[in-house]
Amino acid sequence: MHENKLGSKIVKGLLIGISILFLFVMLILPLITVFSEAFKQGWEVYIKAITDEYTIKATILTLEATLIAVAVNTIFGVFAAWAITKFRFKGKKVLTTLIDLPVTVSPVIAGLIFILTFGRQSILYPLLQQVDISIVYAVPGVVLATVFVTFPFISRELIPVLEAQGTDEEEAAALMGANGFTIFRRITFPHIKWAFLYGVILCAARAMGEFGAVSVLSGHLRGKTNTLPLHVEILFNEFQYVPAFAVSSILVIMAIVILIIRSVVEYKGKKDI
């Protein structure tokens, strides 16, 4: 018995030690490096880097793309999750599979697909030109790429919760004469609100850090189509290491804020259970 307890303590300590070491090497150490390099030449250089005209424009574009992606994917995610879990229809498995497509397809490949779909060689290009819409190497392309890579996040958080909830309460409300919107607002949404918020947070975090698809579609037009990750890449390629790390710190701060919000949502969600 004593040997079993001793063995379990050793295993427990070993697992905790490996976990802490892994987190330190993969997370804490890179964060320390980012901020130490960002402030390497002092506050003045740091402030100058993060208030640079191109940095501000990249930050604004990143936030705009993130907000649009979250808004679009919220609508799509709620509708898709509700349809998949509450209704029977042909093609449900196909829809479920397609929702997971952005997770399985490389973002770079997704960017190339959009170039083939909306670029000069596309049959849609003349129509886009007629209505004066540019997608490839323009802001709409950046937004489209961001929406594509993030649209599974909200629906994938909602589907398991809605499946576990079942349809008994909605069916009872429908028999009592409640309409679809009332059923969703009064019965369905209270059960999924924390999963919904968690999905929104994950979607926003993924959108802010997207690089691959956006890189292909943006054309790297400084001050026009560059998001923060692309701006960091350009600075790094130009050997402007301190400004690159300074701009990277903005993304780190955004990630920390999102992490705090996620932790609060998780705590509130567990507290309500």
Instruction: Provide the pLDDT for residue 184.
Output: 77
Element (H, E) at 41: none
Instruction: Provide the pLDDT for residue 145.
Output: 92
User: What φ, ψ does residue 52 adopt, rounded to 5°?
Assistant: -60, 150
- DSSP one-letter code for 40: T
In this structure, the number of other CB atoms found within 10 A of the CB of residue 39 comes to 15
Higher pLDDT, 184 or 15: 15
Instruction: Provide the pLDDT for residue 69.
Output: 94
Q: Are 108 and 148 in contact (CB under 8 A)?
A: no
Among 105-119, 154-168, 224-238, 257-271, the least confident range: 257-271
**Amino acid identity, position 46:** Y
Q: For 162-169, what is the mean pLDDT?
A: 78
- pLDDT band per the 50, 70, 90 thresholds, residue 271: low
- Give the alpha-carbon dihedral of 29, 30, 31, 36, to 10 degrees: 90
Q: For 128-137, what is the mean pLDDT?
A: 87
Instruction: Provide the pLDDT for residue 263.
Output: 81
Please determine, for residue 34, whether its predicted confidence score (pLDDT) is greater than 70: yes
Please determine, for residue 1, whether its predicted confidence score (pLDDT) is greater than 70: no
Averaged pLDDT of the chain:
86
The residue with tokens 């802490």 is: 20
Instruction: Provide the pLDDT for residue 246.
Output: 93
Most confident of 3-12, 90-99, 150-159: 150-159
The Cα 62–Cα 208 span in angstroms is 6
Instruction: Provide the pLDDT for residue 234.
Output: 92
Please determine, for residue 202, whether its predicted confidence score (pLDDT) is greater than 70: yes
Q: Are 234 and 226 in contact (CB under 8 A)?
A: yes
pTM (two decimals): 0.86
Note the pLDDT tens digit of each residue in 104-115.
888 889 889 899
Please determine, for residue 218, whether its predicted confidence score (pLDDT) is greater than 80: yes
Q: Are 226 and 142 in contact (CB under 8 A)?
A: no
User: Percent of the chain having pLDDT more than 70?
Assistant: 96
